[in-house]
Amino acid sequence: MKNILFLLLFLFTQLSLSGQQNAYPIVTSDQETNLYGAVDADGNIVIPFEYDLLKQFCEGVSVAVKNKRYFFIDVNGKRASEKDYDFLTSLLDGKAVASDKRKVSLVTKDNEVIIEPGKYEFLHLFPHGLISATNIERKKGMIDENEKVIYPFEYNGLLSYLDLVFLRKDKLWAVADTKGNLISDFEFSRISHNAGEDHVSVVKEDQRYTMNHEGKILEDLLIVSAFSNGYAQCVKNDRYGFVNRDYELAIDYQFHKVFSFKNEKCIVKDDMGNFGIIDKTGRYILPLTHRWIIQSSDRFYSISKGDSIMIADANLEPIVDELFEFPPMIAFDDYRESSGLIKIWQDGKIGFIDTTGTRKVEPIYDNVEKKLGGYRLVSIDNKWGVIDPDFKQLIPIEFDKIYNKGFGGYFRVMKLVNGVEKFGLYRLDNLLLEVEYDEIDMRKFDEFRARKGDEWKSIEKKDDSPF
């Protein structure tokens, strides 16, 4: 069993994707060995922790790295083939760029070769089946997987965003479509695009402009966000307003700062640092009198009331009459609203309410760490214990440290005895090893090893998960 340090951002992403994506194993790493493996949503190990790197699963496979060699594995940890490489990208539309012995090629997940190694110095995959290729003269062109040339090898820069291609000669960029047709001259000094945006930011003669997905410059309109609820943020003379999807000004330039529209509402801020909320007509729903307002999810807001916060629903109605302490952002358990639980702080202690405002756990803990399966490490006065998903005490709050974060139901506990670290082992509330060992090694896949003095003993790891 491994001592897991979860990659929280990645875990959040995995759990937020489609149902098919949710079936993919969750990639994480062992904080002791720094090796990667994967678990399912119930905490069972499905891919052993033996890889130097394991990328996010994409199109049914992951790129794994072991002994500096890259190869594909499936969701069961089986290699797609015996072929490995010096470098390998994740799949895009069934294809990946591979590099071996300084020669790049285009391959499938089964390692079928589409473009032979060494024909190009560099390959980069774009959507729409487009491939940026660099020839031996270090000039860039665009081809498809059949090596049909869409744009000739005469450029020193090539990008693709939305339905557009951007070509650079010397220091200037031109705009083109994906079929081989130029839309503009070489006149832009800078091109930038943020994921999720429906437009591109371009710079021409030191002036910034917004370009739509058809390659058209939107005159006198500078958009600085993606669309949300049909509106995107725009700015003029350091004042913010909103445009609709027809690129018409919907709310005039009047705010010091704005956020994205959600639930047909938007948080805005004035020059004095006060927050309010407007609707899509620009009418104030909450006046500019609040120290801060934060929308923590589509359904919940935290709104300042003096030095405390009120937790409100999407209609800005409080879900509970009580006020709570900082932090101002609502802290959903496990960082996900779907957990149904919200952390609260009162008198410096942590408790939980559910999303209807019902008190689930009184604020008694100094720290709470959520782990796989809903188990939580909790501390009071610098001593740690474990509670289960129903907040029942599993491991008493008496240890100086608890390792392995509940992964697989096993917890390695540590207590200082006369200044010396002594270790024990729990599986949920069952004490498997008394807290008297000098070391407990949990790195093996199928067993634990415990040392007392110079003597070691082995304990078989049960492969049935309590989760």
Q: pLDDT tens for residues 450-464?
A: 999 999 998 887 655
Is residue 425 domain-resident? Answer: yes
Does a structural domain hold residue 378?
A: yes
pLDDT of amino acid 372: 62
pTM of the predicted structure, to 2 decimals: 0.66
User: In this predicted structure, what is the pLDDT of residue 20?
Assistant: 39
pLDDT at 73 over 60: yes
- Give pLDDT tens digits for 172-190: 999 999 999 999 999 999 9
* 146 domain residue, yes or no: no
Q: Is 68 exposed, middle or buried (0-12, 13-18, 19+ CB in 10 A)?
A: exposed
Kindly tell me if the per-residue pLDDT of 466 is higher than 60.
Answer: no
Give the whole-angstrom CA distance, residue 421 versus residue 401.
10
pLDDT of residue 433: 94
Out of 29-43, 75-89, 122-136, pick the least confident: 29-43
Domain count, the chain: 1
Average pLDDT for 277-299: 93
* pLDDT number for residue 5: 38
What pLDDT, on a 0 to 100 scale, did the predictor assign at position 81? Answer: 85
3-state secondary structure of 15: helix
- Closest C-alpha to 209, from 231, 187, 227, 176: 187
pLDDT at residue 171 is higher than 90: yes
* Mean pLDDT computed over 321-325: 87
> Is residue 451 domain-resident?
yes
- Residues 6+ away with beta carbon under 8 Å from 443: 2, 30, 32, 33
What band does 126 get if pLDDT is binned at 50, 70 and 90?
very high
Query: What integer is the mean pLDDT of 126-135?
Result: 94
pLDDT, mean over the chain: 88
What's the pLDDT score for residue 19? 40
Task: Give the closest residue to 233 by CA, choosing from 278, 288, 275, 185.
Answer: 278
Tokens encoding 399? 């240890």
C-alpha to C-alpha distance for 243 and 231, rounded to whole angstroms: 5
Mean pLDDT across 257-278: 96
Examine residue 413 and state whether it is found in any structural domain, yes or no: yes
Confidence of residue 306 (pLDDT cuts 50, 70, 90): confident
Q: Give the pairing of strands 172-176 and 308-313.
A: unpaired
Lowest pLDDT segment from 249-258, 259-268, 332-341: 332-341
Percentage of the chain beyond pLDDT 90 is 67
What is the predicted pLDDT for the residue at 377? 92
Q: What per-residue confidence (pLDDT) applies to 220?
A: 87
Instruction: Give the range among 63-67, 353-357, 424-428, 444-448 with minimum mean pLDDT.
Output: 444-448
Does the pLDDT at position 442 exceed 90?
Answer: no
Task: Specify if 360 maps to a domain.
Answer: no
Classified as helix, coil or strand, 337 is helix
Residue-range definition of the domain harbouring residue 374: 366-467
In a domain, 377, yes or no: yes
Least confident residue range of 19-33, 256-270, 428-442: 19-33
Return the pLDDT at 7.
Answer: 39
Check residues 410 and 437 and name the one with the higher pLDDT: 437
Residues of the chain with pLDDT > 70, as a percent, come to: 90
If pLDDT is split at 50, 70 and 90, which confidence band does 370 have?
confident
Tokens of 359: 């008190």
- CB-facing half-sphere around the CA of 443: CA atoms within 13 A: 10
pLDDT at residue 328, rounded to an integer = 64
Query: What pLDDT is attached to residue 439?
Result: 94
